[in-house]
C-alpha cells in the first residue's frame, strides 16, 4: 500500500474539486507537502514505549494527552450531571412538579440541538481555543448562578426558580456551541497520522470513563449537598480556562502537516504557551506554518528529482551496456 503516487494525486484532485487536473500546481504542491511530512515522520519513527516516555521527535505523548485532556474537561465540565439527571435536578433542587420538569427537559433538549448546530459555523470562524475558553467561562458562570439561586430558593421560590432554570438552559446552550463538538474535532487534529487511531481511541475512552464517574456521584451530590454540588463544577470549569489558555495550541486553519511541524521537538515550542505568543493562539494560519510547508515541498521535490535522476542514469547505463 506504499508509493501509490497516482492514487494520492487523484484523491487530492477530487478533494480540491473545481475541475483541477493531477498536474495542477495546487494539487502538486499539496501532494509534495503531505509527502514531505510523511518523510519526516518516517525518519523519526519510534517505538510506542519511546512515545510513552516522551523520547520521540514528534511530541506524540503531549498530543495524546491534549486529546485525552479535552475529553476529560468535557465530562468534568458537568454536562452529564445535567444530561442524565435534569428532571431530578428540577424536581429535587429547583422544586418544580414532575410534569413541568419533563416539559422543560424536552425544551432544553431542543435548544441543545439547535445550539450544537451553531458550532458548525463557529468552530472555524473563531477557532478551537476561543470556543473552548468562551464555553468554559459561560459554563462556570451558569453553575455559579444556579448554585446561588438554589441556595437562596426558600426566600423567593418562584423568581429564583426561573433564574436557576434559565441558567441551566444557558449552560446547555454554551456547551452545545462549544464543548459539545470541539474536543472531538481537536483529538482528531492534534494527533499525527501514525498516532491518530491510538490517540482517538484513548481520548474516547477518557470520555466514557469520566462520563461514567460523573454520573455515579451526581445523584449523591444532588441528594446530600444541594446547591454546593454545583459549585464543584463551577470551579472545575474555571480551572479549565487556564488549562486551555496555557496548554492548548490552536488547530483551526492548520493542515495536519502544520501541526506535525509545530509539535516537532526542533520547532522550539514549549509545553506552556507564553501569554504573548499570538501565533500559537491565532485562528489564522501562521506564517511559520506557511514557511514550513514550503520547506517540506522543497524537500520532497528534491527527493523526487534525485530519484528521477538516478532512474535516468540507470537507464542510460542499461542502454550503454546493450550497445
- Map grid coordinates 506557511 to a residue: 290
**Mean pLDDT to the nearest integer, 126-140:** 96
CB 230 within 8 A of CB 146: yes
How many CB atoms lie under 10 A from the CB of residue 214?
Answer: 21
**Mean pLDDT to the nearest integer, 251-255:** 89
pLDDT category of residue 140 using cuts at 50, 70 and 90: very high
Does the pLDDT value for residue 99 go beyond 80?
yes
Report percent pLDDT > 90 for the chain. Answer: 50
CB 13 within 8 A of CB 30: no
Give the list of residues 6+ apart from residue 234 with CB closer than 8 angstroms, or none.
140, 143, 144, 147
**pLDDT (tens digit per residue) in 162-206:** 999 999 999 999 999 999 999 999 999 998 877 888 889 999 999
Distance of alpha carbon 119 from alpha carbon 183, whole angstroms: 12
pLDDT category of residue 115 using cuts at 50, 70 and 90: very high
Report percent pLDDT > 70 for the chain. Answer: 85
Does the pLDDT value for residue 1 go beyond 60?
no
Output phi, psi for 270, to 5 deg.
Answer: -80, 170
**Mean pLDDT to the nearest integer, 10-30:** 79
**pLDDT (tens digit per residue) in 264-285:** 877 778 888 988 888 888 888 8
Distance of alpha carbon 248 from alpha carbon 72, whole angstroms: 14
Highest mean pLDDT among 40-44, 152-156, 271-275: 152-156
pLDDT category of residue 260 using cuts at 50, 70 and 90: confident
Angle formed by the axes of helices 256-263 and 287-322, nearest 10°: 100
Distance of alpha carbon 168 from alpha carbon 145, whole angstroms: 9
Domains and CATH numbers, the chain: 55-281 (1.20.1250.20)
43 grid coordinates: 525518519
168 grid coordinates: 441551566
* pLDDT of 312: 62
Does the pLDDT value for residue 161 go beyond 80?
yes
Distance of alpha carbon 244 from alpha carbon 272, whole angstroms: 10
Helix, coil or strand: residue 21: coil
Does the pLDDT value for residue 127 go beyond 90?
yes
pTM (two decimals): 0.81
Amino acid at each position: 500500500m506504499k508509493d501509490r503516487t497516482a492514487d494520492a494525486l487523484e484523491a487530492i484532485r477530487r478533494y480540491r474539486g473545481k475541475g483541477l487536473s493531477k498536474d495542477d500546481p495546487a494539487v502538486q504542491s499539496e501532494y509534495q507537502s503531505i509527502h514531505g511530512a510523511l518523510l519526516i515522520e518516517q525518519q523519526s519513527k519510534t517505538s510506542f514505549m519511546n512515545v510513552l516516555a516522551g523520547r520521540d521527535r514528534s511530541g506524540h505523548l503531549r498530543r495524546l494527552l491534549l486529546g485525552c485532556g479535552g475529553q476529560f474537561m468535557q465530562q468534568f465540565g458537568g454536562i452529564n450531571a445535567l444530561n442524565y439527571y435534569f428532571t431530578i435536578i428540577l424536581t429535587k433542587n429547583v422544586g418544580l412538579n414532575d410534569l413541568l420538569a419533563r416539559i422543560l427537559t424536552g425544551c432544553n433538549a431542543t435548544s441543545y440541538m439547535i445550539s450544537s448546530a451553531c458550532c458548525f459555523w463557529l468552530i472555524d470562524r473563531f477557532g478551537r481555543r476561543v470556543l473552548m475558553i468562551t464555553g468554559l467561562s459561560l459554563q462556570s458562570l451558569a453553575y455559579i448562578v444556579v448554585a446561588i439561586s438554589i441556595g437562596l430558593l426558600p426566600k423567593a421560590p418562584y423568581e429564583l426558580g426561573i433564574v436557576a432554570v434559565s441558567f441551566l438552559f444557558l449552560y446547555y446552550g454554551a456547551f452545545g456551541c462549544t464543548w459539545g463538538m470541539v474536543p472531538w474535532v481537536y483529538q482528531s487534529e492534534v494527533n499525527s497520522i501514525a498516532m491518530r487511531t491510538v490517540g482517538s481511541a484513548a481520548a474516547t475512552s477518557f470520555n466514557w470513563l469520566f462520563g461514567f464517574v460523573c454520573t455515579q456521584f451526581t445523584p449523591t451530590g444532588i441528594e446530600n449537598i444541594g446547591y454546593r454540588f454545583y459549585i464543584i463544577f463551577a470551579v472545575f470549569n474555571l480551572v479549565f480556562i487556564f488549562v486551555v489558555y496555557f496548554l492548548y495550541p490552536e488547530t483551526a486553519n492548520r493542515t495536519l502537516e502544520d501541526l506535525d511541524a509545530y509539535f516537532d521537538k526542533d520547532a522550539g515550542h514549549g509545553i506552556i504557551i507564553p501569554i504573548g505568543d499570538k501565533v500559537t493562539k491565532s485562528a489564522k494560519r501562521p506564517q511559520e506554518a506557511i514557511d514550513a510547508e514550503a520547506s517540506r515541498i522543497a524537500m520532497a521535490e528534491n527527493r523526487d528529482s534525485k530519484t528521477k535522476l538516478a532512474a535516468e542514469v540507470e537507464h542510460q547505463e542499461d542502454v550503454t551496456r546493450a550497445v
